Amino acid sequence: MSGPPLPANAATPERKRPHKLTQTRVLDAKYQLGEELGRGASGRVYRAFNRETGEFCAIKEIAIKDMPESGLRSVQSEIELLHTLQHERIVRCYETVRTSDHLYIVLELMGNGSLASIVKKFGRFPEPLVATYARQVLEGLEHLHAHGVCHRDIKGANVLIAREGEVELADLLAVTLTLALTLSRTLAPPLTLTPALTRALPRSSWPTLASRASWATRRA
């Protein structure tokens, strides 16, 4: 049996919205991880809050528990190189944080996603805009090549758009990370690597693979 009708001006009880859980992980007592922005073969990327400056950044989480020490040294060498490649057309790498199981790369946060995601949402770009993006990508590649570095994975998902609408190259480490993991599981001892395969590897990995005592620095 139903009760008396509610007055016309009576407020109806609000439904409680499900509480969205937020991450509580804090790296190095400094970076608090937020929502996941994306993931790929080499790891996951999270939005993060810098508790010291109040700024936001992107943090890439890479599992290193099963990565051999030689592969990890190769990756760290590539990261050190990124710090010397600061350019307006390349996503900035600020620092790294290493734990027992993961390596975290602190990166510039790009607010508008990648070219691939923008095309998927909004369709094809007009030709003048394509020309602008192409010029900006080439400016980034020119800077890398001037320092003897090849990106090796140019695609729409690795070209990110800043809030101002300009693009920057990202994920320079993707191929290095994939090779580091693959080599540890599938290849014969380093000294039996063929010249063709050695040429396909990042130069920073050559000293480890060849077990050399010293190595010349990367050409400027």
171 catalytically annotated:
no
Distance of alpha carbon 61 from alpha carbon 96, whole angstroms: 10
CA pair distance 27, 14, nearest whole angstrom = 38
Q: Which of 28, 66, 101, 153 is catalytic?
A: 153
Given the DSSP bridges, would you call strands 159-161 and 167-169 parallel, antiparallel or unpaired?
antiparallel
Positive or negative, the Cα torsion across 123, 127, 132, 135?
positive
Decide: 73 and 88 in contact? Cβ < 8 Å. Answer: no
Q: Does an H or E element contain 160, and which?
A: strand 159-161
**Active-site amino acid positions:** 153
